[in-house]
Structure 1
Amino acid sequence: MKNSISFLSNLVEYLLIIAVLFYWHGTSNLLNPIAIGLLVVLIFQIIFKNKIIGIIIPSVLMLLSMYMILALLSEVNEFESFNSDAQRLLFIGLAYFLGTILISFLMIWKYLLRSSNKTLAYK
């Protein structure tokens, strides 16, 4: 029971790790320093549960995902017609980046609630 509660409390971090692994696989580059750095930071976050890092990591990921959505829309706009390739690119790209934004928002919310609960306990 305790293991399942621990897993559920870290579910957001695990989902972000899966998103980073998906990104790493998509680059087809074994030594990708950005993916390795993100994985290391997320694993340390699961271990140490630092509330400041727990807010900074998803904030950066949200900003990067918003930027990538703009790049995705620019790339879809370059298609001469909105064919099946453009639809697939748009659907998969939006699902990936909007999912990352949602998961990042949940992680920010998790750590803001954790920090506000501790401040209420001190009063």
Structure 2
Amino acid sequence: MSRSERSPLLLAGLLATAGVAHFAAPRSFDATVPRALPGSPRAWTYASGVAELALAAGVALPRTRKAAALATAAFFVGVFPANVKMAWDWRHRPTALKAAAVGRLPLQAPLVMWARSVANGTEGQA
């Protein structure tokens, strides 16, 4: 399997893993939901988990890959405020946790670019 064939599957795996994590350990995700959003944090946690699972399926399937990868890029941009909130909320935690929270922020850009590259790389699909 070539690198261009693996990339979408790796992205789908990342999304699926994150989606499952939203259901397996929702409390850690609840804490990152910005307070400005209406409704309960748990509803947003579950909704984002469902979205990640749906995006994973879409990216994994060649017929829906382009649209799902573009939606994934938008999703990564959309969840950035939650990562900012986490970094802010964790500013007084131990150094390792604080570094992990702050370190997530610059990772969003490569994730967005990865999703866009999957969308633009036709990799021989119709």
Higher RCO structure (Cα 8 Å, ≥6 apart): 1
- The answer on 1:76 being equivalent to 2:76 is no
Q: The residue matched to 1:10 in structure 2 has which SS?
A: helix
Count of aligned pairs between the two proteins = 102
% identity of equivalent residues: 5
Residue matched to 1:42: 59
Cα distance in 1 for partners of 2:94, 2:71 equals 33
Cα distance in 2 for partners of 1:35, 1:70 equals 16
Letter of the aligned partner of 1:60 in structure 2?
A: A
Cα distance in 2 for partners of 1:79, 1:109 equals 36
Cα distance in 1 for partners of 2:98, 2:24 equals 25
Letter of the aligned partner of 1:20 in structure 2?
A: L
* Aligned partner of 2:7 among 12, 19, 23: 12
Structure with a larger share of its residues in helix: 1
Letter of the aligned partner of 1:18 in structure 2?
A: G
Cα distance in 2 for partners of 1:33, 1:80 equals 29
Tell which structure's C-alpha radius of gyration is larger. 1
Letter of the aligned partner of 1:61 in structure 2?
A: T
Which consecutive residues of structure 1, in runs of 5 or more, have no partner in the other structure?
116-123
Cα distance in 2 for partners of 1:102, 1:28 equals 27
Residue matched to 2:111: 100
